[in-house]
Amino acid sequence: MSEVQLGSKLNDEEADEIVAFLNSLTGQLPKIDYPRLPTRTIATPKPSLDK
């Protein structure tokens, strides 16, 4: 991912350091309530690319 987004490749040591950092994070993830969309029917308009 770093190569695609940043244009540089990580070596094994750098990747290991990132993994160690991510594993050190603690806490609870927030609860996310996603909206319920209405059921699609024949009358539902199709998406448009016009803005």
In the prediction, which pLDDT does 51 show? 65
In the prediction, which pLDDT does 36 show? 92
In tens, the pLDDT along 1-51 reads 788 888 899 999 999 999 999 999 999 989 999 999 889 999 998 888 876
> In 3D, which of 24, 27, 29, 22 has the Cα closest to residue 1?
22
In the prediction, which pLDDT does 38 show? 86
Task: Tally Cβ neighbours within 10 Å of residue 41.
Answer: 6
In the prediction, which pLDDT does 12 show? 95
Domain ranges, ordered by start, for the chain: 1-25
Q: What is the pTM of this model?
A: 0.50
In the prediction, which pLDDT does 37 show? 87
